[in-house]
């Protein structure tokens, strides 16, 4: 069983080796993560805990991280440090739940279920500068798909998006991503202005973890 354990607030222990009945040893990766980047230390952590089913508080295989918009924008050219919110531009503050892919996972069944639900024959339009397509007539929620209204990737769930109203009667979009890469699963939310940088954001998070790695 692989685990992420939080110790003394800042020290993250990421268990790489599987426990065996005949073995008493385990391999551990240690991460020294700044307090301001631990999602559980922020108000937003409560929202993400709710969104991801209590992951931050209850599952030792997961850790929540948060970054200032300016920090991400400095590392990813084109990423918007501020995005549209209810009252106007707000700090993008992207957060992510990182999980070691467990031996038993419902990712593939969730992928099948979500693709079956989201697939459509309706005419779709490219979303901004991304490779995703959506139904511009959507109300409330929509899914991001490929141009044919299908989904062929097996390392990412079709992003599910919400349409929210601004204070002056406009709208803004937020989308939930779940991407698997190199033994990790990254679950995060991006605003519409930054959807084209989803893959780069995963790279950014992994680079941060590598930087914080102690051993």
Sequential DSSP letters for the chain: ---EEEETTTEEEEE-SPP-TT-----EEEEE--GGGBGGGSTHHHHHHHHTTSHHHH-TTEEEEE--HHHHHHHSTT--SEEE-SSSEEE---EEEEEEPPSS-SHHHHHHHHHHHH---S--EE-TTSS-EE-TT--SEEE-B-TTS----SSBPPPEEEEEE-TTS-EEEEEEEEEEETTEEEEEEEEGGGGGGHHHHHHHHHHHHHHHB--
Look-up of token digits 């993008």 = 92
pLDDT for 123 equals: 94
Residue 9: per-residue pLDDT? 39
Q: Residue 53's pLDDT is what? A: 45
For residues 105 and 158, give the distance between their C-alpha atoms in angstroms, rounded to a whole number.
17
What pLDDT sits at residue 201? Answer: 98
Question: What pLDDT score was predicted for residue 200?
Answer: 98
Residue 209 contacts by C-beta under 8 Å, 6 or more apart in sequence? 31, 98
For residue 48, which phi and psi values (nearest 5 degrees)?
-70, -35
Other residues' Cβ atoms within 10 Å of the Cβ of residue 99: 22
**Average pLDDT along the chain, 215 residues, taken 10 residues at a time:** 40 41 50 87 49 46 90 98 92 92 85 94 95 95 96 96 94 96 94 97 96 84
Model pTM score: 0.81
Query: CA 90 to CA 111: how far, in whole Å?
Result: 32
The pLDDT value recorded for residue 161 is 97
Predicted pLDDT of residue 102:
78
pLDDT at 6: 38
CA distances in angstroms from 173 to 93, 108, 131, 162, listed in the order given:
15, 26, 16, 6
């Amino acid at each position: 069983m692989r685990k992420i354990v939080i110790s003394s607030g800042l020290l993250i222990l990421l268990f790489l080796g599987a426990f065996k009945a005949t073995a008493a040893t385990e391999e551990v990766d240690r991460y020294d993560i700044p307090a301001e980047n631990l999602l559980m230390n922020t108000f937003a952590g409560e929202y993400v805990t709710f969104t991801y089913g209590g992951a931050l508080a209850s599952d030792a295989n997961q850790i929540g991280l948060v970054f200032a918009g300016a920090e991400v924008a400095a590392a990813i050219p084109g990423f918007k440090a501020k995005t549209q919110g209810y009252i106007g531009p707000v700090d993008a503050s992207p957060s992510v739940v990182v999980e070691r892919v467990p031996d038993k996972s419902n990712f593939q069944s969730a992928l099948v279920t979500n693709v079956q639900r989201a697939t459509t024959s309706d005419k779709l339009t490219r979303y901004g500068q991304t490779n995703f397509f959506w139904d511009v007539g959507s109300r409330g929620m929509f899914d991001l798909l490929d141009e044919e209204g299908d989904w062929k990737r097996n390392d990412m769930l079709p992003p599910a998006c919400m349409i929210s109203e601004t204070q002056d009667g406009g709208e803004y979009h937020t989308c939930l991503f779940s991407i698997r890469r190199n033994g990790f699963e990254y679950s995060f939310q991006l605003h519409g202005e930054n959807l084209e940088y989803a893959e780069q954001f995963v790279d950014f998070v992994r680079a941060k973890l590598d930087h914080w790695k102690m051993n």
